[in-house]
Amino acid sequence: MLCEPVRMIMKTHAFVRTIAPRCLAYTTEKQNKKVFFPKLSHYLYFLFAPTLLYRDNYPRSQRKIRWGYVLRMFMEVAGGAFLYTFIIDKTFLTDFREYGLKPFTPGEILLKILNNAFYGMLTMLLMCYLILHAWLNAFAEMLRFSDKLFYKDWWTSINYARYYRTWNMVVHDWLYTYIYKDFYEIVIPKRKILAKLSVFFISSLFHDFIVSVAVGYFIPVFLVYFFLFGSCVSLVKPPNTLIGNVFLLYSIALGASMMLSTYSMEYFARVNCAREEPSLRYFFTPKILTCFK
């Protein structure tokens, strides 16, 4: 539910950025009568279409809607969501349930993170499948939307640069079109590294915002993992294909485990030993270190 307002913001921005230049350039001269302005139906279709880039027309399938396929996709989303919560509850939440009640050494925490790396990768794969495959394909089928390139073969990537470009094509295209190009061409002209860092920073902020509102507290996990770590490793180019792919997959698994472990420890730190009245200070102050025993 919290992703919905962010999705609407991104779609609205794309729509305005596409239509505004037409409005600004429009005059009453005869040659401008050929300028196309979308109808309400175009905008409504864009709101539900599985894309973040506005176009006046999209490739459309002529076949009938396969309602059985749509139902199967939604059932997979429901079943996958249950499996996702079951995995989180039986691994990360169970391992850190007593955080703040009994001592946890750094070695014990590290061991739990390493042990849960497999489950971290499993949750990552589930999230990708449920959102980028099942959910988006269901809406693509209902709207006869034919451009279904929602992701590429990111699991064959040998470096993070390709992984970030292929694992989520829907968001990547929006970030490249409206964030990277704007920074590279207007804000900080001809500076690719700074434009790239801007994309990582803005993306991390939105991720942290969504998760923070969902869990009820702020802890800059995505700023650390995506902005600091992700932007650095995206510049690394491993010399060997096999080594690069193994490093990528294991670091994704380990990173997911670290992020879920951090959120779990912060949650139980607030529940077990740092209960306070809700306030802005309480929301933004991490308790994971002050509650560490």
Q: Residue 18: helix, strand or coil by DSSP?
A: helix
Interatomic CA distance for residues 137 and 134, integer angstroms: 5
Nearest-10 crossing angle of helices 40-48, 3-25: 150
pLDDT per residue over 97-139, tens digit each?
A: 988 888 888 899 999 999 999 999 999 999 999 999 999 999 9
pLDDT per residue over 253-264, tens digit each?
A: 999 999 999 999
Residue pointed to by tokens 């905008």: 43
- Kindly give, in sequence order, each residue whose CB lies less than 8 Å from that of residue 277, ignoring residues fewer than 6 positions away: none
pLDDT per residue over 155-183, tens digit each?
A: 998 888 889 999 999 999 999 999 999 99
Let me know if 35 is exposed, middle or buried by CB neighbors in 10 A (0-12, 13-18, 19+).
Answer: exposed
Judge contact between 38 and 56, C-beta under 8 A. yes
* Residues that are catalytic: 207
- What does residue 33 show for φ and ψ, rounded to 5 degrees? -70, -15
Whole-number average pLDDT of the chain? 88
Let me know if 44 is exposed, middle or buried by CB neighbors in 10 A (0-12, 13-18, 19+).
Answer: exposed
Closest among 277, 272, 264 to 291, alpha carbons compared: 272
Partners of residue 102 on adjacent β-strands: 99
Position 57 pLDDT exceeds 70: yes
Position 20 pLDDT exceeds 90: no
pLDDT per residue over 178-214, tens digit each?
A: 999 999 988 888 888 899 999 999 999 988 888 888 8
pLDDT score at 4? 81
Whole-number percent of the chain with pLDDT over 90: 48
Position 31 pLDDT exceeds 70: no
Highest mean pLDDT among 217-221, 236-240, 254-258, 272-276: 254-258
